[in-house]
Amino acid sequence: MRTSGERLYHGITGFILVLAAVTCLLPMVHVLSVSLSSPHAVTSGLVTLWPRGWTLESYELLFRGSKIVHALQNSVIITVVGVVLSMVFTVLAAYPLSRSYFYCRRFFTMATVFTMLFSGGLIPTYLLLKSLGLINTYGALWLPGLISTFNMLVMRTYFDGIPEELDDAARMDGCGEWRFLLQIILPLSLPVIATLSVFYAVGYWNAFFSLLIYINQTDKYNLTVLVQQMNQSQSLMQEMNASDMQASITPEGIKTAGIVVLVVPMLMVYPFLQKYFVKGVLIGAIKG
């Protein structure tokens, strides 16, 4: 039975969380409403949280008059390949550091943590990638962020929490390291794998600054950069307005449609992984 103080605490906490959720949700609802509203309603300032004069013309012009389809393909390539590479190497780094019999385990762990505090800097990193011939390739995005130290430590901590009796039983049955990792460790680690995959996917999908630094060819830009240019470049908007629909579409409608296209894919992926998300973060974070 909860006391009056506990009920008051939970009530206040719930109110604050609901208020925070509404604060995060309202801007996105407004953007979606503007993208679905008629040009007259948008220019008149009548659109708040519900579309006025429903229309999909903004999306039709967006996909017809811009390079958004190609940019969307680039974003998918960057994200899918990046997540696969990062997860493979994160697992390969975390697994040996989680084994108590790994030689110099503490030294390599501290050396890895050191990279969270100090880095080579932007200019040395650029010169290194240039010497490797990775400028204007997606390798310049994948290689520097191949392993997130934080994500690797979370995965290592999760591996530490798997009972050692499983390891002993597998060794008695003649199980080797690779088989033990692939058939025992990874199936038991789906929560943390799903959680870190979301972390990596969001990072690669929203890649912006690194792409502007290392990629100079506009045909390799991802959706994030294209939407940013769409919001700031008047020449790009004029290029889109050259289509036959220019008389019935406002720049605000096109911009908000681009933002929706950028955000929706991640929103669609998250519900499928949400059941693993909380469990993976908590187990990987509280066990030391």
Choose among 145, 141, 116: nearest CA to 224.
Answer: 141
The confidence score (pLDDT) of residue 280 equals: 52
pLDDT beyond 50 at 284: no
Distance (Å, whole) CA 77 – CA 109? 31
Which range is least confidently modeled, 18-32, 234-248, 255-269? Answer: 234-248
Q: Assess whether pLDDT exceeds 50 at residue 113.
A: yes
Q: Is the pLDDT of residue 286 over 50?
A: no
One-letter amino acid of 141: L
Residue 102 φ then ψ, to 5°? -75, 130
**pLDDT 10s digits, 65-97:** 667 888 889 999 999 999 999 999 999 999 988
Q: Mean pLDDT over residues 125-151, rounded?
A: 90
Extract the tokens encoding 278. Answer: 């909380």
Q: What is the pLDDT of residues 140-156, one digit of tens each?
A: 999 988 998 999 998 99
